[in-house]
Structure 1
Amino acid sequence: MTASEVINLILGGLGVAIAVILFWSLPVPRFTSKNTEELPFLSIIIPARNEEGRITPLLQSLQEQRFKGFEVLLVDDDSSDRTAAIAESYGVTVLQNNGAGKSSACWRGAKEAKGTWLLFLDADTRFMSVDGLRNLLHVYQGKGARGILALQPYHTVQRVYEHLSIVFNIIVVVGMNLFTVWGSRFKAAGSFGPCILCNRDDYFLSGGHEKIEGAIMDDLALGEAFLEQNLPVRCLGGRGIISFRMYPEGVGSLIEGWCKSFAVGSKSTHPVVMLMVILWITGSLTTASSLISSIIVGNTTAMIVYGVLYILYAVQTAWFARRVGNFRLGYFPFYPLFFLFFAGIFIYSFVRVNVFHSVRWKGRNIKV
């Protein structure tokens, strides 16, 4: 093998090995059905803007919960569709906001809430069972009911293009700095955003969403606000409790959504974790390109070596992806396409944030 082939082989092997360290585990909530402690009254706050096509599964799942000790406040952030009407049809209290954004909507809901605990849910989430909410609350109670308990919902996909989110979903999780082989040694980057549970006193002590208004990554900023007050921020996988379907509107919405999130969010990832992510992505693409080159030139030894590495990357990517969503296994032999898509969107996002200082989301140009 030539020197360049040896270097590519080292990069490929290193990437596979480092990825195991990078995404060592993804804990999910553990609870016991024998827990009979009384739960406090809960306020569920749903910030929503033009969610007519996505809000129904969440409202339906809330209606089906066996635990009934909660109120639901939907804060309509200047929607132009039937979001508010659909919420009202489920008996939800609808509050009107002035279109100032998600943080402003969450703050409005928190001020109106009557609950001892506050649960902020994105409109595209839904509970996976009739006891999902109760189990979530018991987990928080079992951890002392302090600070934030944030879950990353399990991603359910229905259409082929939704698999383009595979690498993004993995890196959203590992980018929190908490799921490496070192556990909580690194400081949490913040909190997951779609499902945030906290108690009322801690929320207002931290300054809540009023303190972070204007932040693009409100979830990371809110977690930082809690950490500044020495309040714990716990992040877990949501499998078995809560799920979501991301960007069902189409590829354009998917690109817009990930573009908004990634270049800004990556700044909160620990440098060591970021380096491991870069090595994993570089190794995966180097392996794929080297395998193609070896096939073109007919180098049998290189074909076998890179073929084995390619299979390892495909299996590993599938293993990681199935932790965070129900992605179909048949797509993973084509894993380089997902990494290339991720790299392209990340570069596009970086340019939008650092050159044009704006991103677009739900019809708004957001300055960054």
Structure 2
Amino acid sequence: MTASEVINLILGLLGFAIAILLFWSLPVPGFTSRNTDRLPFLSIIIPARNEEGRITPLLQSLQEQRYKSFEILVVDDDSTDNTVALAESYGARVLQNKGIGSGKSSACWLGAKEAKGDWLLFLDADTKFTSVDGLRNLLHFYQRKGARGILALQPYHTVKHLYEHLSIVFNIIVVVGMNLFTAWGSRFKAAGSFGPCLLCNRDDYFLSGGHQKIEGAIMDDLALGQAFLDQNLPVRCLGGRGTISFRMYPEGLGSLIEGWCKSFAIGSKSTHPIVMLMVILWITGSLTTASALISSIIDASAAAMIINGALYILYAVQTAWFARRVGNFKWVYFPFYPLFFLFFAGIFLYSFVRVNVFHSVKWKGRKIKV
């Protein structure tokens, strides 16, 4: 083997090994339906802007929950579709966010101020509980951990179309970028919290300043988690598999690009440098391995093809293993895993330019300055 082939092999092996340490585990709430401990009244707060096509599964799943001691507050953020009427048809109390600001943070703050519950559960409109005991299991887990600070779940990603698989690497890195799922556990400080499903108690929420404190933050989930950490309140992040799921960007590829562009270059700044270095090594190793395999095929080098082919298969299996922790991505697409990494690299670069050169991103028809 030439010196360059040896270097490529070392990078490939190193990236593969580092990735195992990078995404060591992803805990989920346990099944606790037999727990009879009393739970406090819960306020479920759902910020919504033109969610007519996405909010129905969530409202249906809330109706189906065995645990019933909660209220639903849908905070309408200047919707122009049928979101309000739809929410009211499911018995939700609808609050209007007009005149006091706009955006998810102000909507959540309004909902929290109007809430009657001792605990607050903030849910994105595109989430849904996947089990009739999902809500109860979530609440009991929070109770067992002392009912302090934040408990945040990253919903399990449900995909239906081919283009949605382009989110594979993004979904993995969103999770590992929280710094909490490496082989070293909680040794690294949490980057913040997940945003789609976030549970806290009322007192801690207002002590932290809540969403009012982070008004204007694009990555509100990370900012809110940091606000809790600033008050020495714990932030716990778990996977949502078996409890709660969502379908990201069902509107099409344009929405997917816009959404990830909005989030990623900014969110990556909260990732611990060591974790970020591990991510870079994993991505580099995966692409280097693919490149080395193509070169060995062009050169008709049998030995190199066998070595690089074996490592390529390992990366495909590893990527599938990681991806299936965070979503129901189909196995058939993972032999083409380099395409997912290249798409991630392209969107990350585009996001970086939007944030650092143009200082603006677009989301749901709004131009957001950053």
TM-score, normalised by the number of residues in structure 1: 0.99
2:357 match: secondary structure = helix
2:45 match: secondary structure = strand
Cα RMSD (Å): 0.7
* Aligned partner of 1:309 among 300, 305, 311: 311
Counterparts of 1:207-246 in structure 2, within 5 Å, are 207-246=209-248
Indicate if the aligned counterparts of 1:260 and 1:349 stay in contact, CA closer than 8 A. Answer: yes
* Aligned partner of 1:266 among 261, 265, 268: 268
Aligned to 1:21: 21
Which amino acid in structure 2 is aligned with residue 294 of structure 1? S
1:171 & 1:115 partners in 2: Cα distance? 34
Is 1:80 aligned to 2:87, yes or no? Answer: no
**Percent of pairs identical after alignment?**
86
1:290 & 1:358 partners in 2: Cα distance? 38
1:33 & 1:200 partners in 2: Cα distance? 24
1:318 match: secondary structure = helix
How many angstroms does 1:80 deviate by? 1.1
Is 1:131 aligned to 2:133, yes or no? Answer: yes
Indicate if the aligned counterparts of 2:15 and 2:283 stay in contact, CA closer than 8 A. Answer: yes
2:28 & 2:72 partners in 1: Cα distance? 25
Counting matched residue pairs gives 368
Structure 1: any 5+ residue segments left out of the alignment?
none
Which amino acid in structure 1 is aligned with residue 48 of structure 2? A
Indicate if the aligned counterparts of 2:194 and 2:222 stay in contact, CA closer than 8 A. Answer: yes
CA offsets 1:269-322 (integer angstroms, 9 cap, x no match)? 000000000000011001001101110111111111100110000000000000
1:280 match: secondary structure = helix
1:32 & 1:280 partners in 2: Cα distance? 36
Indicate if the aligned counterparts of 2:33 and 2:133 stay in contact, CA closer than 8 A. Answer: no
Q: Which runs of 4+ in 1 moved over 3 A?
A: none
Aligned to 1:92: 92
Aligned to 1:59: 59
1:311 & 1:40 partners in 2: Cα distance? 50
Structure 2: any 5+ residue segments left out of the alignment?
none
CA offsets 1:308-350 (integer angstroms, 9 cap, x no match)? 1100000000000000011000000000000000000000000
Indicate if the aligned counterparts of 1:125 and 1:153 stay in contact, CA closer than 8 A. Answer: yes
Aligned to 1:253: 255
Aligned to 2:344: 342
1:105 match: secondary structure = helix
1:119 match: secondary structure = strand
Indicate if the aligned counterparts of 2:127 and 2:196 stay in contact, CA closer than 8 A. Answer: yes
1:354 match: secondary structure = helix
2:199 match: secondary structure = strand
1:322 & 1:84 partners in 2: Cα distance? 35
